[in-house]
Amino acid sequence: MFRFFENLVDPYAPYSPNDTPPRRLLPFLFQYARPFRGVFVLATVTSVLTASIEIGLIAAMGWVVDILEGDPAQVWGAHGLTLMALGFFLLFLRPLLNALDVALLNQAIMPNLGTLIRYRAHAHVLRQSVGWFENDFAGRIANRIMQTPPAAGEVAFQTFDAVTFSLAYIVGAVLLLGDSDPRLTIPLLGWMILYGLLIRWTVRNVSPASKASADARSLVTGRVVDAYTNVQSVKMFAHDDRELDYAKEAIEKARQTFMREMRLYTTMDLALNALNGLLVVGVVGLALTLWMQGNATAGVVAAATALVLRLNAMTGWIMWATTSLFRELGIVQEGMETIAQPITLRDTPDAQPLRLTDGRIELKVLSHHYGQASGGLDHVTLTIPAGQKVGLVGRSGAGKSTLVKLLLRFYDPEAGQILIDGQDVTRVTQASLREGIGMVQQDSSLLHRSVRDNILYGRPDATEAEMIAAARQAHAHDFILGLRDAEGRAGYDAQVGERGVKLSGGQRQRISLARVILKNAPILLLDEATSALDSEVEAAIQDTLYGMMEGKTVIAIAHRLSTIAHMDRILVLDGGRIAEDGPHEVLLARGGLYASFWARQSGGFLALDHPEDDTDTDTATDTDSGEAAE
Ligand SMILES: Nc1ncnc2c1ncn2[C@@H]1O[C@H](COP(=O)(O)OP(=O)(O)OP(=O)(O)O)[C@@H](O)[C@H]1O
């Protein structure tokens, strides 16, 4: 029985993703609720029926009190059949309806609605561009993906469990009292107006307060996760206390917003109690007066009393349900700041797969300043013929990585065009573009999975033998065989830890090299691909790299000029522009920037951020081949 209801809606059913999700709350929720339409209609019906039955039972109780006033000997004869029908209804039909109501809520809606939202929200966020992720905390994004779905589930639950039920119940109460004596509805209607006003006040204040709270909580998660992911820097600079203070600031903000929210609930509770007192005194007092005047039966007084006492008990629950509904709506609204953001970098509707025939790359007056006045790339025009090997050098911040990221379409250029084999990279599908490009980065972070999964990331359908061959080529096979993780998994099955932290930098770089070897894409981008390797391994890997470059168009960013000196062509970027362009010897002979870089190389390293300043840069060269060495 459970399974039937649990399978009523498939949260993973195919759907057409929406690049621009609605920015308003209700349309946003409705888009996720669409697959649940049938279930929601049924839940509304059962909820209304359940409320009507509650009212019916109270009416029946009044009726029973009235028949008690008659002759006991006559009761069975006159009302036996009705009483038996009532018993049958209570014993069998009511539990059945109740079971249907609960199963729809607990089995069909609750587990599936949250799952559907989480799955689709994650799918949406995954489609965001690299630039989008750079502008936020990963922890905050994750927090929103985690807390929005249960909040939306709670909204649905309260809507059917409390709101629909209580509305139906209150309407039923008015009808029942009106039927007994219309005057009895006067205090009830008065109460309803005040109660409505109280709910309106609460709702208006609770949603923003809860959104502020949720916002503050997400910030806490963002800061906490930021400290955990960068724990090495935290420890290295002995900044535990600073980090704690930084988090405390956010934690305190969360406490302040939470306190503001809780004040609302206390005020609401006090007002509700006062209102309920008025209701009981009003209705029961009036019913008693009518009875004393002989205008109402004992049954009417009993039913009216039962009704308001039940209402009295229910209002707290309704109020709680209504506020939790709006509190959860506030959380959903906060989550929407992440989940409802449009995908700005997307495939054009007519995007075709990239047809990579030769691997010719053209940049046409390409500019990208990350939305700022300077930085990035500035008016770069360039043609790289198919199969050419290009070395890209320049000072730190010259725009080398920007060029590579634009080529991969991690961002859309602010001006100009990039063509690969004559096709504009913004007009082909992103998947096909990135399939055609292999990239090895300086900071090769791996996924928290097994070595095998990480290498196969380059080509998931590769065979075991192909994967091992790639690892061998990257000089990774031997050390991989020696790996063993904390759970005893060894070799290719060993887990590499978050971002590959359980491996050395050189090991990480070799694994990421193996996956690019496996991918075997026609265009190769190397961003300091061997920077983390010791010279012995590097020498061996250089051979592998030269082998890999065979027949491919290559752009290699290098800080160590010796690794690119033999390339067909060297491009020197300076301040986002191409300063020099030509083979090693020609550039050396020209005596410009490249020649000065080369001259300043010591032991194969090149200096630096400030080539004018000899003393500083030479020191940096000796100690740091990363940032300082260009
Ligand atoms: N995501 C970003 N948002 C804003 N500005 C950025 C971003 N990425 C890079 N920049 C800016 O663009 C300029 C070029 O950066 P880029 O990373 O391309 O330099 P680079 O030549 O690769 O430097 P390095 O050798 O240090 O890696 C820098 O001034 C940098 O501050």
Query: Residue 572 contacts by C-beta under 8 Å, 6 or more apart in sequence?
Result: 393, 394, 578, 579, 580, 581, 587, 592, 593, 594, 597
Is 589 a member of any domain? Answer: yes
pLDDT at 411 over 50: yes
Within 260-398, strands assigned E span 361-368, 377-384, 389-394
pLDDT at 629 over 70: no
With a 6 A CB cut-off, is 606 part of the ligand 1 pocket? Answer: no
Query: Ligand 1, atom 12: nearest CA belongs to which residue?
Result: 376
Tell me the pLDDT band of 612, cut-offs 50, 70 and 90. Answer: very low
Query: Ligand 1, atom 19: nearest CA belongs to which residue?
Result: 397
Task: Based on the fold, state whether residues 616 and 563 are members of the same structural domain.
Answer: yes
- 517 versus 542: which is more confidently predicted? 517
With a 6 A CB cut-off, is 376 part of the ligand 1 pocket? Answer: yes
The 3-class secondary structure across 596-612, one letter per residue, is HHHHCCECCECECCCCC
**Average pLDDT rounded to a whole number, residues 380-401:** 92
Of 160, 147, 159, 123, nearest to 211 by C-alpha is 147
Task: Based on the fold, state whether residues 388 and 481 are members of the same structural domain.
Answer: no
> By the 8 A CB rule, do 312 and 189 touch?
no
Q: Closest ligand 1 atom, CA of 405?
A: 18
Q: Closest ligand 1 atom, CA of 401?
A: 22
Task: Based on the fold, state whether residues 134 and 206 are members of the same structural domain.
Answer: yes
Task: Based on the fold, state whether residues 431 and 459 are members of the same structural domain.
Answer: no
Give me the pLDDT at residue 615, please.
37
Compute the distance between CA of residue 322 and CA of residue 319 in angstroms, rounded to an integer.
5
Least confident of 144-148, 558-562, 619-623: 619-623
Query: Ligand 1, atom 7: nearest CA belongs to which residue?
Result: 370
The token pair at 358 is 């030769």
For residue 140, give the CATH number of its domain.
1.20.1560.10
Least confident of 238-242, 488-492, 529-533, 576-580: 529-533
With a 6 A CB cut-off, is 214 part of the ligand 1 pocket? Answer: no
**Average pLDDT rounded to a whole number, residues 38-62:** 87
pLDDT at 384 over 90: yes
Of 415, 420, 417, nearest to 378 by C-alpha is 415
553 in helix, strand or coil? strand
Indicate the top mutation candidate among 367, 369, 402 to test ligand 1's pocket, ranked by most ligand atoms within 8 A of CB. Answer: 402
With a 6 A CB cut-off, is 143 part of the ligand 1 pocket? Answer: no
Element (H, E) at 36: none
Q: Closest ligand 1 atom, CA of 370?
A: 4
Give me the pLDDT at residue 532, please.
62
> By the 8 A CB rule, do 609 and 588 touch?
no
With a 6 A CB cut-off, is 407 part of the ligand 1 pocket? Answer: no
C-alpha of residue 138 to centroid of ligand 1, in Å: 20
Task: Based on the fold, state whether residues 457 and 426 are members of the same structural domain.
Answer: no
> By the 8 A CB rule, do 124 and 17 touch?
yes
Query: Ligand 1, atom 16: nearest CA belongs to which residue?
Result: 399
Compute the distance between CA of residue 76 and CA of residue 80 in angstroms, rounded to an integer.
4
**Average pLDDT rounded to a whole number, residues 393-400:** 90
Is 7 a member of any domain? Answer: no
Query: Which pLDDT tens digit goes with each residue over 317-363?
Result: 877 787 788 888 888 888 888 888 898 888 888 999 999 888 999 99
> By the 8 A CB rule, do 418 and 361 touch?
yes
Least confident of 74-88, 377-391, 466-480: 74-88
β-pairing verdict for 423-424 and 415-420: antiparallel
With a 6 A CB cut-off, is 10 part of the ligand 1 pocket? Answer: no
Task: Based on the fold, state whether residues 506 and 601 are members of the same structural domain.
Answer: no
With a 6 A CB cut-off, is 613 part of the ligand 1 pocket? Answer: no
> By the 8 A CB rule, do 608 and 628 touch?
yes
C-alpha of residue 399 to centroid of ligand 1, in Å: 6
Query: Which pLDDT tens digit goes with each residue over 241-257?
Result: 899 999 999 999 999 99
Tell me the pLDDT band of 426, cut-offs 50, 70 and 90. Answer: very high
What is the value of ipTM here, to two decimals? 0.96
Query: Counting beta carbons within 10 angstroms of the beta carbon of residue 335, is it exposed (0 to 12), middle (13 to 18) or buried (19 or more)?
Result: buried
With a 6 A CB cut-off, is 396 part of the ligand 1 pocket? Answer: yes
Is 109 a member of any domain? Answer: yes
With a 6 A CB cut-off, is 21 part of the ligand 1 pocket? Answer: no
C-alpha of residue 390 to centroid of ligand 1, in Å: 20
pLDDT at 463 over 90: yes
Q: Closest ligand 1 atom, CA of 131?
A: 1
Indicate the top mutation candidate among 370, 414, 559, 610 to test ligand 1's pocket, ranked by most ligand atoms within 8 A of CB. Answer: 370
Enclosing domain of residue 500: 441-520
Cβ neighbour number for residue 238 with a 10 Å cutoff: 8
Compute the distance between CA of residue 396 and CA of residue 93 in angstroms, rounded to an integer.
77
419 in helix, strand or coil? strand
Per-residue CA distances from 111 to 28, 116, 141, 331 (Å): 19, 9, 22, 18
Tally of domains in the chain: 3
pLDDT at 390 over 90: yes
C-alpha of residue 403 to centroid of ligand 1, in Å: 10
Greatest pairwise CA separation for the chain in angstroms: 124
With a 6 A CB cut-off, is 370 part of the ligand 1 pocket? Answer: yes
Is 181 a member of any domain? Answer: yes
Give me the pLDDT at residue 61, please.
82
**Average pLDDT rounded to a whole number, residues 214-219:** 87
**Average pLDDT rounded to a whole number, residues 588-604:** 79
The 3-class secondary structure across 129-165, one letter per residue, is CHHHHHCCCHHHHHHHHHHHHHHHHHHHHHHHHHHHH
Give me the pLDDT at residue 419, please.
94
Task: Based on the fold, state whether residues 61 and 143 are members of the same structural domain.
Answer: yes
Compute the distance between CA of residue 560 and CA of residue 538 in angstroms, rounded to an integer.
12
Within 333-489, strands assigned E span 361-368, 377-384, 389-394, 415-420, 423-424, 437-440
With a 6 A CB cut-off, is 375 part of the ligand 1 pocket? Answer: yes
Predicted TM-score (pTM) of this structure: 0.76
CA 75 to chain CA centroid, Å, is 65
Cβ neighbour number for residue 23 with a 10 Å cutoff: 12
Of 406, 458, 439, 459, nearest to 554 by C-alpha is 439
> By the 8 A CB rule, do 217 and 254 touch?
yes
Is 227 a member of any domain? Answer: no
Query: Which pLDDT tens digit goes with each residue over 2-31?
Result: 889 999 999 999 988 888 888 888 888 888
Give me the pLDDT at residue 623, please.
32
Tell me the pLDDT band of 533, cut-offs 50, 70 and 90. Answer: low
Percent of the chain, pLDDT > 90?
28
Compute the distance between CA of residue 210 and CA of residue 328 in angstroms, rounded to an integer.
8
Query: Residue 412 contacts by C-beta under 8 Å, 6 or more apart in sequence?
Result: 344, 345, 426
**Average pLDDT rounded to a whole number, residues 164-168:** 81
Of 221, 224, 216, nearest to 256 by C-alpha is 216
With a 6 A CB cut-off, is 394 part of the ligand 1 pocket? Answer: yes
Task: Based on the fold, state whether residues 178 and 319 are members of the same structural domain.
Answer: yes
Tell me the pLDDT band of 500, cut-offs 50, 70 and 90. Answer: low
Is 4 a member of any domain? Answer: no
The token pair at 487 is 């759970």
Give me the pLDDT at residue 215, please.
86
Compute the distance between CA of residue 551 and CA of residue 586 in angstroms, rounded to an integer.
24
With a 6 A CB cut-off, is 405 part of the ligand 1 pocket? Answer: no
> By the 8 A CB rule, do 148 and 214 touch?
no
Is 263 a member of any domain? Answer: yes
Least confident of 109-113, 123-127, 159-163, 407-411: 159-163
Give the full edge-to-edge strand order of the sheet including 569-574: 437-440, 523-527, 553-557, 389-394, 569-574, 577-582
Task: Based on the fold, state whether residues 390 and 455 are members of the same structural domain.
Answer: no
Task: Based on the fold, state whether residues 332 and 379 are members of the same structural domain.
Answer: no
Query: Ligand 1, atom 28: nearest CA belongs to which residue?
Result: 397
**Average pLDDT rounded to a whole number, residues 262-285:** 87
Give me the pLDDT at residue 79, please.
83
For residue 383, give the CATH number of its domain.
3.40.50.300
| Residue found by looking up tokens 């994750």 in the block | 142
β-pairing verdict for 415-420 and 361-368: antiparallel
C-alpha of residue 173 to centroid of ligand 1, in Å: 68
Q: Print burial letters for 242-267: b (CB count within 10 Å at least 16), e (below 16).
A: ebeeebeebbebbeebbeebeebbee
With a 6 A CB cut-off, is 402 part of the ligand 1 pocket? Answer: yes
- Last residue of one domain, picked from the residues 304, 339, 374: 339
C-alpha of residue 401 to centroid of ligand 1, in Å: 7
Task: Based on the fold, state whether residues 363 and 318 are members of the same structural domain.
Answer: no
C-alpha of residue 228 to centroid of ligand 1, in Å: 25
Cβ neighbour number for residue 403 with a 10 Å cutoff: 26
With a 6 A CB cut-off, is 401 part of the ligand 1 pocket? Answer: yes
Compute the distance between CA of residue 466 and CA of residue 454 in angstroms, rounded to an integer.
14
Q: Please, what is the average pLDDT of the chain?
A: 85
CA 117 to chain CA centroid, Å, is 10
Is 229 a member of any domain? Answer: no
C-alpha of residue 414 to centroid of ligand 1, in Å: 15
Q: Closest ligand 1 atom, CA of 559?
A: 25
Task: Based on the fold, state whether residues 200 and 299 are members of the same structural domain.
Answer: yes
pLDDT at 603 over 60: no
Per-residue CA distances from 536 to 497, 510, 533 (Å): 26, 13, 8
C-alpha of residue 476 to centroid of ligand 1, in Å: 31
